[in-house]
Amino acid sequence: MGKTKVPAGSRYLSKGFPLLWFAIAAFVLYGQSINYSYTYLDDQTLVLGNLDQLKSASSLSRAFSEDVFHSPSGHGFYYRPMLTLSFMADAMIGKGSFAMFHFSNILYHVLATFLLFLFFVALGYDRIRSFLFGLLFLVHPMVTQVVAWVPGRNDAILAIFILGSFIFWLKFLKSGRNLHLLLHLLFYTLALFTKENAIVLPLLILIFSAAIQRNPLKKFAIPGAGWVILTLLWAMLRYKALGGSNEATFSVQMLSMVKNLPAVLPFLGKIVFPFNLAVFPILADMKVSSILGVVVTGLLAMIIGFTRPKAWFWYFFGIIWFLAFLVPSFVSVNNQIPYFSEHRSYLSMIGIFIIVMECYPVKNAAFSRLLPVSAIVGITVLFSLLTFIHTRYFRDNFSFWQNAVDTSPTHAFNYNNLGAMYFMGDNLEKAEPLFRKALQINPYEPMANSNAGLVCMRTGRTEEAEKYYLEEIRINPAYDHAHYNLGLLYFNNSRYEEGIRQWEQTLNINPRYNDAYQALFFAYEKLGRRQDYDRIALKARENGINP
């Protein structure tokens, strides 16, 4: 008997080969990021200022019992245990080297891309098509922030668990094996402990299994019970970790999500035309991308119109996937202007990929032929060049925040943070105008008044500094640094009691503010107030700080 002819190239996409190709491509494209420094957007808090805790095994329980920023009880919002655990692993393995964190980010992206490839194969697409679209995802400029910005890894970790859970669900439907169901539920649980967006996964599974695969509802009884129990367990732990309260009620969060729905358009525009990228944009500065989003909507509608036969269920599933993983990220938890960083599109863009793969001419293309492969490879090369360039904006704090100002010039937050970078570098001459620009755009910009006060205090303008601090406290009364710095100003100008009151208030807001403890120890010792010294020492010990 003659041997069955194997399609050209298929042998190189069998077994683990795609993982190898994805890894090579990722390290060639993103390898430059391994030597990048801190951007000072959350990474300085989550990693730089937390390295000692991350290296300690005792932080394991804190990962599940506190919010990711270890905020005082009742002030947290972001429950991210798996992100914290990933940071702990890097801190221990790399002994605090930030290069290890960047190296891991690339690995997470590679693994997520490989699982996307397996996901496409499980959905019924051929391996060549699945690989090419996986490669397109790997190099897409919109995923740059997930790889080059260390905290962005959370979206890659979420994708790993969501895709893994869905793959095991499909295996369970096919095999009926309890092991596959247990692995599906395990990955779903890990996804919940990664990011709240995971809660939509059962809905997507129900839509897919009932509408596309036409599975009877009785088949969901046992998995459904598992989803409910695990979701309730996660919700209780999250509620307890966040202090049982939050500034934003559920209704406020839902209203903010609806209010921010127009942001769907720029995300859609950037997925297809990723030429207006920004590291920290707001909706007001995304007009071009919003217009492109309208264009993309029209193009998709036109392409679907020309497609025969139409896969309506697949289009519906792709749209729901896109919106389900994107729109929940639009929730605003405070009064700040919401931002729409591109890492939020990481998992959601898979829905758009599914729609495109079910449309003419992609659906009917033979990817074993030169022309279709050349077309998608050409797009991949173009996207790779854009990604390589965009990655460099994450190489250090000045590059990051300068790009933020350049690409989103109406956002006061960006000017305030670029000013903070110059202040940290002792360049007060450049820092002060940026703080004033931030306040010019938004007089209520959190921390901007406090930062301007720091410049004034550093340059000997104490009266002006006091006005800035008091204004910061008026509009942002829970900002611990403003109280602490005002306390320094008062105490250094022999206004001892006023300084002490500000430091005590600092600890009321943040019981783990080490510098406030040290300041009070010095003050009470200087003033001979032993009883107050002992009281603060006891409070310090109760909060894990050695007097």
Summarize pLDDT for 110-126 with one digit per residue, the tens.
999 999 999 999 999 99
- Do 308 and 430 share a domain, yes or no? no
pLDDT given at position 193: 98
- Do 278 and 386 share a domain, yes or no? yes
Mean of all residue pLDDT scores within the chain: 92
**CA angle in degrees (0–180, nearest 5) for 82-83-88:** 95
Tell me which of 394, 421, 445 is where a domain ends.
394
pLDDT given at position 382: 97
CA distance 327 to 477: 31
Q: Is the pLDDT of residue 5 over 50?
A: no
Q: Is the pLDDT of residue 271 over 90?
A: yes
CA distances from 98 to 38, 93, 416 (A): 8, 11, 25
Residue 510 within a domain = yes
Q: Burial code of 415-442, b = ≥16 C-beta within 10 A, e = fewer?
A: bbbbbbbbbeeeeeeebbebbebbbebb
Residue 122 within a domain = yes
- Do 503 and 383 share a domain, yes or no? no
- Do 277 and 308 share a domain, yes or no? yes
Region label for 231, one of left (φ > 0), alpha (ψ between -120 and 50) or beta (otherwise): alpha
pLDDT given at position 221: 87
pLDDT given at position 220: 85
pLDDT given at position 245: 54
Tell me which of 340, 360, 394 is where a domain ends.
394
Q: Is the pLDDT of residue 3 over 50?
A: no
- Do 95 and 183 share a domain, yes or no? yes
Q: Which residue has the higher pLDDT, 371 or 130?
A: 130
- Do 385 and 481 share a domain, yes or no? no
Residue 58 within a domain = yes
Per-residue model confidence as pLDDT tens digits over 148-185: 999 999 999 999 999 999 999 999 988 989 999 999 99
Q: Binning pLDDT at 50, 70 and 90, where does residue 2 land?
A: very low
Residue 1 within a domain = no
Q: Binning pLDDT at 50, 70 and 90, where does residue 248 land?
A: low
* Total count of domains within the chain: 2
CATH of the domain at 501: 1.25.40.10
- Do 361 and 477 share a domain, yes or no? no
Q: Binning pLDDT at 50, 70 and 90, where does residue 256 land?
A: confident
Range 68-89 average pLDDT: 84
pLDDT given at position 490: 97
- For residue 323, give its domain range: 21-394
In SS3 terms, 24-84 reads as HHHHHHHHHHHHCCCCCCCHHHHCHHHHHHHCCCCHHHHHHHCCCCCCCCCCCCCCCHHHH
Residue 547 within a domain = no
* 3-class secondary structure, 427: coil
Per-residue model confidence as pLDDT tens digits over 492-518: 999 999 999 999 999 999 998 999 999
pLDDT given at position 250: 72
Residue 16 within a domain = no
CA distance 454 to 467: 11
Q: What percent of the chain has pLDDT over 90?
A: 78
Range 283-290 average pLDDT: 95
- Do 424 and 529 share a domain, yes or no? yes
Q: Which range among 93-102, 198-207, 218-227, 338-347 shows the weakest confidence by mean pLDDT? A: 218-227
CA distance 47 to 151: 9
Question: What pTM did the predictor assign?
Answer: 0.92
- Do 245 and 368 share a domain, yes or no? yes
Q: Which residue has the higher pLDDT, 215 or 94?
A: 94
Q: Is the pLDDT of residue 6 over 70?
A: no
Tell me which of 394, 418, 445 is where a domain ends.
394
- Do 236 and 376 share a domain, yes or no? yes
- Do 365 and 469 share a domain, yes or no? no
- Do 442 and 419 share a domain, yes or no? yes
Q: Binning pLDDT at 50, 70 and 90, where does residue 534 land?
A: very high
Residue 509 within a domain = yes
pLDDT given at position 59: 81
CA distance 174 to 363: 24
Residue 2 within a domain = no
